[in-house]
Amino acid sequence: MAEFKAVINDVKTGRSHKVTVSGHHANSLIGKSIGEVVDGIFVGLPGFKLKITGGSDQNGTPMRNDLPGNRRRKLLLSESKGFHPKYGGERRRKAICGRHISSDIVQVNMSVDHYGAKSIEDSLNPTEETG
Q: Where are the domains of the chain?
A: 3-65+101-118
What's the CA gap between 104 and 3, in Å, rounded? Answer: 10
Which residue did the predictor score with more confidence, 127 or 72? 72
pTM of the model: 0.86
Topology of the domain comprising 3-65+101-118: Ubiquitin-like (UB roll) (3.10.20)
Mean pLDDT of the chain: 89
What's residue 131's pLDDT? Answer: 46
Strands 3-9 and 105-114: parallel
To the nearest 10°, the Cα dihedral for 106, 22, 44, 127? -110
Closest CA to 40 of 111, 97, 127: 111
Distance CA 114, CA 109 (A): 16
